[in-house]
Structure 1
Amino acid sequence: MDPDRDLEELTRDQLVAEVKRLREGIRAHRDSTGHDLCWHHPNLWGLLPERVTPDVAVPPWPKFLRGCLRYREALERELPNAPKADFEYDKGET
């Protein structure tokens, strides 16, 4: 089954509204910064019409942390002049 078939039934105005909604979600994801870059983004996935519970597999800590380091190193290579957000992550969670 085509997961995008529902689009064929929408009017032009509905399609424009859907594109704007999707762009808003993509921009929110794109504009994430600081520690928010490290989190999975269920709000982004929630923009899709099909409702699924993602089957998230979490690597063991050492492999997870190596992946974090590679991600940060890639940011340094690709955005070497990006401002540094020098603060600890703390949202009151323990």
Structure 2
Amino acid sequence: MDEDLDGLTRDELLGVARQLRQAIRAHRDQTGHGLCWHHPDMWALLPDKVDPQIAVPPWPKFLRGCVKYRESLDSQRPDAPVHDREFGE
């Protein structure tokens, strides 16, 4: 699956590593409402271009998942500052 890497030079491999690190950092550094968004930018760095076939839960189940995610942040990062803004502010 990653045979495209076999023919790259050291400098080209370093370039790929830097791109991947930047994408991971951009995803990691999301905060506030950005934590809840779909992030296909990282997938676009893969050489195998596919149209991800995502499935979206119905609203009640989706919102319960959002609540669980937010609760997990409370337990994993209880010291995180509060981003008290509406989406789009």
Shorter-chain TM range is over 0.9
Partner of 1:69: 67
Secondary structure of the residue aligned to 2:54 is coil
Aligned residues: 89
Identity across the alignment (%)? 58
State the one-letter code of the partner of 1:57.
A
Instruction: Note the 1:1-94 alignment, pairs <5 A.
Output: 3-90=1-88
Amino acid at match of 2:31: T
Q: CA deviation at 1:47?
A: 1.3
CA–CA distance in structure 2, aligned partners of residues 90 and 25 of structure 1? 23
Residue identity opposite 2:5 in structure 1: L
Question: After alignment, is 55-64 or 44-53 more displaced?
Answer: 44-53
CA RMSD of aligned residues (A): 1.0
* Unaligned segments of structure 1, at least 5 residues: none
TM-score by length of 1: 0.91
Q: TM-score, normalized by length of structure 2?
A: 0.96
Q: Unaligned stretches of 5+ in structure 2?
A: none
Structure 1 stretches (4+) deviating beyond 3 angstroms? none
SS in 2 for 1:46: helix
Residue type at the aligned position of 2:7: E
**Structure 1 counterpart of 2:44, one-letter code:** G
